[in-house]
Amino acid sequence: MKRLLIALSMVASILTGCAPAFAKGPTSPAKPAPTVASSVTDRCHPEPTSGVPHYILGYGSLMQEASKRRTTPDAGPNIPVTVTGFQRNWTDGPPSTSPSNGEVTTTYLNVAVAPGVPMNAAIYTVTAKDVQESDIREENYCRVLVQNDHIRIMSETTLPPDAQVWLYMNQHPNNGPTAMFPIVQSYVDIFVSGCQELETNFKLADFAKTCLSTTSGWNSNWKNDRIYPRRPFIFEQHASAIDKLLTTSTVTKGYYSQIVIE
């Protein structure tokens, strides 16, 4: 029975993305479970409060309307914001997807808690069903609440005082882009084109450039995986504008010039 309980504990830890803790001495009193959690597997994706507006804050691929709507076609339109308290960064995949046998995978955008640090992003309204669908999409990320007073909307839209704004955060240690976990251009294209959409739609000067400067972890571990790169506009209609931004931004131009085409 004791072995069975230990095994069950380890399985539950894997499901929640946390390694089991084994104490060598007397164990400390267990912390009370969050009021929003109904089970072990809910800790990473708490139950949203019913009867209040819900928003998702996107800082990477969710900033592009087309990418977002592949998961939540009925979500509200993206609204540009500045959120304080998070640092956007390139991070390698979670431990469960670490490459083996020389396999190469990719980095993704993530955020780390960073008091006082501003980051531009997007928010959009969602339903309870949208939240569930987004949880499935962001399965390697935990959904956390963002304090409303840390969000400044960059349009005439106002955030309801009782709104809950959710952000997805991968909580494993960040190692940044490496040869085994490079930045890939197809993901950069989605991220940057989303930033450019918001800049154009809301007439915001340098919004896309700010997306780059508020992202840490750029380096030369960067692969161009666009299909038919000699005619990229066939598959990425904004390729020219994206490339122009990447080659002029002080935070990316030195690395972008070294990209290897795959």
Residue 186 lies in a domain: yes
- Average pLDDT over the chain, rounded to whole? 80
Residue 96 lies in a domain: yes
**Which pLDDT score, from 0 to 100, does residue 226 have?**
80
Residue 159 lies in a domain: yes
**Which pLDDT score, from 0 to 100, does residue 81 have?**
98
Would you say the pTM of this structure is higher than 0.85?
Answer: no
Number of domains in the chain: 1
Which CATH number fits the domain that encloses residue 159? Answer: 3.10.490.10
**Which pLDDT score, from 0 to 100, does residue 257 have?**
75
Residue 44 lies in a domain: no
**Which pLDDT score, from 0 to 100, does residue 235 have?**
53
219-242 pLDDT, tens digit each:
999 998 886 554 455 455 677 788
129-162 pLDDT, tens digit each:
999 999 999 988 999 999 999 999 999 999 999 9
Asked if 183 and 221 touch (Cβ cutoff 8 Å), the reply is yes
Residue 40 lies in a domain: no
For residues 49 and 164, give the distance between their C-alpha atoms in angstroms, rounded to a whole number: 8
**Which pLDDT score, from 0 to 100, does residue 254 have?**
85
Contacts of 90 (CB under 8 A, 6+ apart): 107, 108, 109, 110, 176, 177, 183, 215, 216, 217, 218
User: Has residue 172 got a pLDDT over 90?
Assistant: no
- Token couple for 257: 């010039």
Residue 16 lies in a domain: no
Asked if 159 and 57 touch (Cβ cutoff 8 Å), the reply is no
Percent of the chain at pLDDT exceeding 90: 57
**Which pLDDT score, from 0 to 100, does residue 5 have?**
38
Residue 134 lies in a domain: yes
Which residues span the domain enclosing 206? 54-261
Residue 161 lies in a domain: yes
